[in-house]
Structures are given as C-alpha cells and as structure tokens.
C-alpha cells in the first residue's frame, strides 16, 4: 500500500471517528512517537489523538454542520500533502469557509508527523469570524 493510499485510509477513518467519537480507530495510523505540530506541539501518539479530539470537541462539534473536501493528495518521498476546504455552519452566523493543507510525514506505513497549514486568507477569515461570532460556540 502506498503512503497516499494509507493517508486516504486514515482520512476515511478520521471521518468515521468524527461521527462516532471512537478515537481508538485511528491509533494504527500513527507511530508511537508521532508529533502533531501546533501551538503547542502534541508529542506521542496518545497526545496526538487527544489534541485531535480536543480540537474537534472545542470547535467542530460546536458548529451546526461541517463539510470537508479534499483535493487529490500528492506524495514526495515520505511526505503526503493534501489541500482541503472545510465549511461550517452555525445558526445566526454567516458560514465559515477555510482552506489549507495537511502534511503527513510517514515512517513506513504510519504517520510520524502531522501538521495543518491554513492559507493566509483563511487565517484572516477565521480570526474575523471568531472575533464576531466565537462567543456563540460556547452557547452550543
């Protein structure tokens, strides 16, 4: 199985996990010492899974809907890169649409480093949306 195929399997498993909250499903896609880059980085598979779940619980699950689409992933060496677009809806708020890329560095058939890079315009859009409407997320 190529790393692109493995990444696509991970992405599908992540979407299933998003639906049923069974985070053990994606254990198999990460090395034990995996890192998810962010502020701060999550180091170790358990910490990566916690960070992913925390982000979903704090943001995505507080939206009314989430629709994500991916471009065709590309691979160079042991790295897979895929562009994504995600749209969120929240009652009483304008839709939020952000874009970026996810980069997964593989060790064998497991992700050893994962990061998301938001497009510059997406960072601006997200900041403005959160400033204007972020308080509504805490209201459920």
Q: How far apart are CA 75 and CA 88, in angstroms?
A: 28
Q: Which residues of the chain have pLDDT under 70?
A: 139-140
Q: What is the pLDDT of residue 39?
A: 84
Q: What is the pLDDT of residue 59?
A: 92
Q: What is the pLDDT of residue 73?
A: 97
Residue of 40, 65, 66, 68 lying closest to 54 (CA atoms): 40
Burial of residue 139, with CB atoms counted within 10 A of its CB: 0-12 exposed, 13-18 middle, 19 or more buried: exposed
Q: How far apart are CA 66 and CA 63, in angstroms?
A: 7
Q: 137 near 63, Cβ under 8 Å?
A: yes
Counting DSSP H helices and E strands in the chain, the numbers are: 4, 7
- What secondary structure letter does DSSP report for 41? P
Radius of gyration of the CA atoms of the chain, in A: 15
Residue given tokens 């399997």 in the structure block: 9
Chain mean position to CA 108: 21
Domain annotation for the chain: domains and CATH numbers: 3-138 (3.10.450.50)
Q: What is the pLDDT of residue 140?
A: 54
Q: What is the pLDDT of residue 86?
A: 97
């Amino acid at each position: 199985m190529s790393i692109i195929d493995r990444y696509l399997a991970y992405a599908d498993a992540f979407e299933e996990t998003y639906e049923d909250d069974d985070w053990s499903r994606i254990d198999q896609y990460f090395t034990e010492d995996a890192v998810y880059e962010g502020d701060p980085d999550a180091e170790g598979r358990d910490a990566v899974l916690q960070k992913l779940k925390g982000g979903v619980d704090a943001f995505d699950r507080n939206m009314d809907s989430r629709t994500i689409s991916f471009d065709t992933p590309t691979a160079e060496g042991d790295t897979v890169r895929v562009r994504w677009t995600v749209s969120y809806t929240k009652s009483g708020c304008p839709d939020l649409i952000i874009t970026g890329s996810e980069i997964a560095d593989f060790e064998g058939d497991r992700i050893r480093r994962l990061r998301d890079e938001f497009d510059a315009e997406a960072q601006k859009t997200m900041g403005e949306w959160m400033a204007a409407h972020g308080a509504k997320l805490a209201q459920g």
